[in-house]
Amino acid sequence: MAIRVFVVSDHRLLLEALTDQLAKTSRDFILAGSCATLAQASELLKSAAADILLLDMDGESEALLAFISALQEAMSIRILLLTRHQDHALEDKAVVLGARGLIDRDTSAEQLLNALEKVHQGQVWLNREATGRVFVELARWGRDKPLDPNEAKMAQLTEREQHIVACIARSHGEPGKTIAEQLHISESTLRNHLTAIYGKLGVVNRHGLLAYAYQHGLAERLGQ
């Protein structure tokens, strides 16, 4: 059976090049979908039936790690990371959270396809240096007892963002203007905060945030 690959990158030319490469190859790959943002990916992957997620990781690091953690918890999909700017600390954390491999900007098209095949087969695609670093990171995480994935997401929120989440959890669907007035901020400022919160919690919109807040009792937990 063909390997279904979903591609995520906020770099338009890179996204088009990757999807074009998958479309024209004679090897058994099918483009299951593509998008530019993690928020879009969270929604589209639910129905894409993808085997592998090819994820450009050169975005906001905290949102990326939260997305990987939430995705591994929510569905069975193998993640291959693509990095254009080396950040070994971020790369290692992403692999510890569940990513199965890493390719960089010097990778050829043939190597990319090989990596996708190997990851689909259950193998890990890392060079020797990266493998050594990941072992060290795993040992450190074992000593530090890492947070539950949901706790890890909540830990990323600033005090102000936690207050906004609690306010929305109590709002019962009130419009943004009303919530902004309660918080003594403008609607545009509220929207900016919400964009950051969505990325950190791995939700798409206010409906998703409300569902997440109710599911995890955030209003009570945040002491509001």
What pairs with residue 80 in β-bridges? 54, 101
Q: Which helix (H) or strand (E) holds 93?
A: helix 88-96
Q: Tokens 């990596």 appear where? A: 115
Query: For position 27, what pLDDT does the model report?
Result: 82
Q: How high is the pLDDT of residue 116?
A: 93
Q: Tens place of pLDDT for every residue, the chain, 224 residues?
A: 789 999 998 888 888 988 888 888 878 898 899 999 999 999 999 899 999 999 998 767 888 888 988 888 888 899 999 987 778 888 888 888 888 889 987 888 889 999 999 999 888 888 767 777 776 666 665 545 554 566 667 767 788 888 888 888 887 667 888 889 988 999 999 999 999 888 888 888 888 888 887 777 776 666 54
Task: Show the tokens assigned to 63.
Answer: 């949102």
Residue 202: partners with Cβ closer than 8 Å, 6 or more residues away: 38, 42, 66, 67, 70, 71, 153
Alpha carbon of residue 102 to chain centroid: 15
| Residue 224 confidence (pLDDT) | 44
What is the Cα–Cα distance from 102 to 105, expressed in whole angstroms?
10
Encoding tokens for residue 208? 């998703």
For residue 104, give Cα distances in angstroms to 108, 133, 179, 188, 198: 9, 16, 43, 37, 28
pLDDT at position 114 is: 92
DSSP label at 142? H
Cα(24)–Cα(146) distance, integer angstroms: 42
Q: Which domains does the chain have, with CATH numbers?
A: 3-143 (3.40.50.2300), 157-221 (1.10.10.10)
Structure tokens at 171: 């709002």
Residue 33, pLDDT score: 92
**Which residues, including other chains, have CB under 8 Å from residue 108's CB and lie 6 or more apart?**
none
Element (H, E) at 34: strand 29-35
In this prediction the pTM is 0.59
d(CA 16, CA 10): 10
Contacts of 122 (CB under 8 A, 6+ apart): 78
